[in-house]
Structure 1
């Protein structure tokens, strides 16, 4: 149950800086658009509500909308899909938007909830991240074993990104991976096997994450993925991929060897000191860890409070 009254939730959605629309799949009309979206399009509500979305989504045909609905019905309730399409403004050029689509039910009727953001903004964020990574790599700040960023270089990039986090700024999600039994593996099977595992982890993390994500070795057995412009669900998806892959790892020469992992996922809703934020995540992860070989912990929105 939300702590915010329902009437206030509608006001919050209205103030969202994303383009938020609700489409009625039965008659292919617009049932809702937030205030920011209408202002950005340069149109009044009476020019939008009850009208076809093709007025501002020129490439969205009825046939495509029908396919979208059919596809959404095959997904689980917590899943959705994405659509990249031009959005037409009354004044100015078209902009390519990436919409997150999901099927919702209201008063026993189905609607399509679409939340979109200008791709140009995402490209700018990605370019900024790539620039920071290039600088860090040029300064040879990579961990030699994993080929991931070292702690100091990672914190430098983290610090620059976290300054952009806020109620109207960048979304930023942090994934921390703890290889729980790495020390025992080193003791039982040798340091070279531990190094092989860490090297493979570097490749696995890059494979499970996006190009704009920042992967690092924070300490001996703790690894991090910083995910700009992504939320908790995206982080949980990456965490599950990593755990599933680790559960399948086997060494022919050591058939009893298994890697145990504990992963924490948190979205950062406001700025904070990266090292302290990481320490907070690691502390929470240590408190929540269980004897299970593979586990993922959702920490929710992580704020830093220092009294």
Structure 2
């Protein structure tokens, strides 16, 4: 009997399989599920010819172990119908993510339903597998557009709001340290006025890249608006957040930005208090940033709760 667990097939002309269909049979007196017929797209998806597949066990998903589990799940779901013709099989389904030959992902949505009821102690099933890669990629792209700042590629303000609320709630439940950093480029209006908004945009893009390189995977970095950025640092105390802000401040100061050259930034840093509201946290970090600006810019301020190290 034909068994084929290689990567999903594809025609020589690179035509992707569309809607694969296999007709299956389950005999009440013998274990296993066997193929009665397959269409061309099923052959494209998994390789082999129609003759190869007749009488063989179906491939529902690419991974052999997962495929066996689904077959076992199918038998469990069919047992009532095999024992009682009046029972009803609602079907099972899922989404398989597998790899094309070039390493890219392919999403295949599958479902198994019954074709009528039990007949002569056997059940005929229909397995359908639909390539939904384009749909999934479009949905992912829409999600990226909805959550990402188009200029810098960082998280946008609305998405950051959602992440902040979630992390503050987690801090309330588990009492783990959580800090928030707000930074603002100093005299950014002068950059736009002197060199134009295109250069200003280049500076913002370069700054976004610098921030990504200096943050951990667990940190969330967002463009808050204009030249303002937010950094959310889970599992980070106020002292640790100040050190992180100082590290970034120094990196910004000693980076040669496009055309403009030297740029500085001011920072406000706060740690979320126990049971503190998001509104209160935002107000405190904004006040801390304001103090950094008032004290001469190119510095880190905690709003007076912690004295930062001497500026360099």
Relative to the length of structure 1, the TM-score reads: 0.49
Relative to the length of structure 2, the TM-score reads: 0.48
Rg larger for: 2
